[in-house]
Structure 1
Amino acid sequence: MMNCRTLAVLLTAANVIAAPEIAAAQPAPSQETARGADDVKRADASYRKGLRLYTDGKYAEAEAELQSAWELNPTYDVAYNLGLTKYQLKKHKEAAQHLSFALRHWPLMKAAAEKRPEAEQRLAVSRALVGAVNVVVGVAGAEVLVDGTAVGKTPLEGAVFVDPGEHRVEARLEGYAPASQMVKVAKGGTAEVMLALALAKSEPQAAAPGAKAADGASTLGAGFGAPAAGLAPGAPVEPVQPPPQRSWVPVLALGAASVVGLGVGIGTTVASNAASDDAHKQSAAIIQGRGQCVKPESSWAGPCEQVRNDASRADTLGNVARVAFIASGAFAIAAATYVLWPKPKRSESAVALPVVHSDGAGIAVMGAW
């Protein structure tokens, strides 16, 4: 079924194609159907107004309209055009964020494929001017904040682009103690952040009046005038059994698996960064040579293809690294949970002792509860 935005673009296709920086709108139906019809309608109106403003060179006004469309209906085409607008305004951090989103959700259709090289080229230029942080948290659904600003919930879909310098990355989730880490990111570089959320400790409850301490000993006199029924004086009782000892085999196995996962993650991260650096250098060389990869000349076809291959390889290795880091963290958390899990409590026991006095005989029961 053709939706309202697609119909609008077909009717105004000539105006959109005439603008070299703007792509024809092709929203993702699966995302729009999850939103209200009113939001989609208002987003489409802002989107088309933003396209016209961009064509007229009014980038600041276009940014406001496209930002409104993005907040109401975040689709790949809105992200692409908003990324181009941010690029024109030299907001390269935000441009990289939106363009990377657009490329991750780019549809497999011929009309859209013609604009993809332009998105890749603009992303490469913006990416070389900013840093990126890959955040991995051991618990899903945690809110991730960078310098106090929320950037999404785990697992994050892609990297978070930041200005070069130091940044605080934090993860929060109800029921867990927050975790944070300071990272320093260079221009064009990538930092890996792994945060482990620990369950928050509950407040100890006050003991009820007259309650016995968990391990405190108590002495009860039972029938000093006569022996207690069912327990003869001096009857043997079962000795207190020590709590079972933990086996360290699972800890060693989980620890070894965590180390292997960490090694794989570090190795693939290094390889991913190297591929990303190759792509950035090649892209910079193309730009310095006054070439471009949107419709490259024959002399630039090979270098442009190499840029795409290196970028694809960097993404693949980065995904492998993230999976390895997550697995390593999961194994480490499992090992720590096994070690720190409360041991079985000592079984309750009692000792019966004979008591003899001038008025009769009986027993005294001594136990620990």
Structure 2
Amino acid sequence: MRRPPLSPITAVLLLLTCSAPAAAAPLPRRPPPTGPEREMLDEAKRLLDEGRLADARDIHLTLWGLTKSASDAFRVGMLSFRLHDFERAAEFLSIYFDMVGTPDAPKIWVPPGFKESYELARADFAEARRHVGVLDVRASEPGAAVLVDGRQVGLSPLPRPVYVAPGQHRVSGHLAGELREVVAAVDAGGERTVWLTFPRARAEAPARFPASKVASPLVAAPPSSAPNPALRWWTVGAFAATSAVLATVGALSVLEANDAAEERDAAMGRAQWEVFHCRPGLPACDAYADADGRTKTFTALSVGAFVGAGLSAGGAVAAGFLLAPEAKVRVGVVGTAPGVGLSFAW
């Protein structure tokens, strides 16, 4: 079936439809305020009607911390200008300009009459700028905490300059335990760039060895937790000291046992001259019995002391080896032949 030709009007409409650009995406818009936010806005308006500008600004500062909206930045900046707080006025109006763009190219949805309020904010910003100085703080490394006169203003790189009163200011930066501090002076309406230079972090390169000596790196066994060195030496020292004391006691006991044996033998000879049968009460017999008892006692004591000394010495040796770190085995290629290295650490 033959299709009817298109009419001129239909053709023009189709051409316009195909050539028309796609509708621009809607600009982001601030969500409606919540109940508590609406109450704070109403309270700020009431305070503003009563002429309590500082109190109204404090409420908008609180709202700015909650919403980070352009309207709250605008109100804080304009109220600060009326309070002659030119530093805060310049700071928040610059934030407002960054967020909204320009009347010709807005970044967010703007209400009717935006151009007039924008031009008023521009005029107030220019006047505030005449009363303050600008510090353009730059750090050599990102992520440094930047402070001006002890007040943290952000992390490097800062999104915008810092507006300060004319005079000298202490600019500091903290990064990875490093502190950098500069004293900078700026005049009203002037600008100064402040640099905070931090050491650049360097990745340590792996050690390289000549190919003639080592063809491949050594592979170490997984590290094991070593005992406390102090515990090891205290244990070994205690065993060694005990062994030495017992050996000394044994030696002294041997000497006492020998002396007692000599006295016993002498007493035995005297007893044989006095009586034929030794009995208690006779001086020679009592001396013999006393010397014989001491001989046996010190003999037994010396034997026990020497045995204890030997055991303590063995304990010292065993503690030294048992509490020492484990042996580390390293396997690698030395020269052209594989090899195994065994090392002990004390």
Instruction: Give the TM-score taking structure 1 as reference length.
Output: 0.43
Computing the radius of gyration from Cα coordinates, the structure with the larger value is: 2
Higher relative contact order (CA 8 A, sep 6+): 1
